[in-house]
């Protein structure tokens, strides 16, 4: 028999094994690293790819809309736009109908980058799903969507 655990470490073990917050953070870090790596030749990160995707609309979205889509704080979005704007991938424009609001518009360079990134995503995501054969990827998506 193995030595019984120290009393103070028992709740810690239960928490470590069960905490959905921890498990989600772990998975988020691992996936971000993986897709960061895949997109590196294109000069963007996985987060920037998702953000550019969220802006790829015929009718541009506002900051609040994009922040909600990414389940991200509005002020985080403000920060994340800076490198993209500096690289000329998108522009922040004032909404003429409501001058408090900003419309996020992809530039031609931004759209071109997204076109180049799509096959990279497809390849990497297919590889990921292949590794998760024992997992129902659809159920996983549904569960994550239920959380956020």
Partner DNA sequence: GCCAAAAGAGTTGATATCAATATATTCACG
Partner DNA sequence: CGTGAATATATTGATATCAACTCTTTTGGC
Q: Which residues bind DNA (CB under 7 A)?
A: 25, 29, 32-33, 36-37, 45, 47-48, 62-64, 67, 72-80, 82-83, 86, 92, 98-102
For residues 39 and 45, is the Cβ–Cβ distance under 8 A? yes
Q: In sequence order, what are the residues at sequence separation of 6 or more whose Cβ sits closer than 8 angstroms to the Cβ of residue 1? A: none
Alpha-carbon distance 74 to 66, whole Å? 9
Q: How far is the CB of 58 from DNA (least distance, A)?
A: 18
92 forms beta bridges with 104
Q: Which does 91 bind (CB under 5 to 8 A by kind): a copy of itself, DNA, none?
A: none
Q: What are phi and psi of 92, to 5 degrees?
A: -100, 120
Across 31-142, where does the E strand assignment appear? Answer: 61-62, 90-94, 102-106
Q: Which is nearer to DNA, 41 or 136 (CB)?
A: 41
9 touching a copy of itself, by CB under 8 A:
yes
Q: How far is the CB of 99 from a copy of itself (least distance, A)?
A: 26
Angle between helix 20-39 and helix 108-131 axes, rounded to 10 deg: 120
Q: Which does 54 bind (CB under 5 to 8 A by kind): DNA, a copy of itself, none?
A: a copy of itself
The residue ranges that bind a copy of itself (CB under 8 A) are 5-6, 8-9, 11-12, 15-16, 18-35, 46-47, 50, 53-54, 56-58, 69-73, 111, 114-115, 118, 121, 125, 128-129, 131-132, 134-137, 139-148
């Amino acid at each position: 028999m193995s030595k019984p655990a120290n009393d103070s470490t028992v709740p810690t073990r239960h928490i470590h094994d069960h905490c959905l917050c921890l498990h989600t953070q772990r998975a988020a870090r691992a996936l971000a690293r993986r897709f960061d790596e895949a997109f590196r030749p294109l000069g963007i990160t996985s987060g920037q790819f998702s953000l550019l995707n969220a802006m790829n609309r015929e009718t541009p979205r506002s900051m609040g809309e994009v922040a909600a889509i990414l389940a991200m704080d509005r002020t985080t979005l403000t920060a994340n736009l800076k490198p993209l704007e500096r690289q000329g991938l998108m522009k922040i424009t004032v909404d003429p109908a409501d001058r408090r609001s900003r419309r996020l518009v992809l530039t031609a360079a931004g759209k071109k980058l997204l076109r180049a990134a799509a096959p990279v995503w497809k390849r990497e995501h297919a590889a990921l799903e292949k590794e998760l054969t024992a997992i129902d990827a659809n159920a996983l998506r549904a569960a994550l969507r239920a959380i956020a």
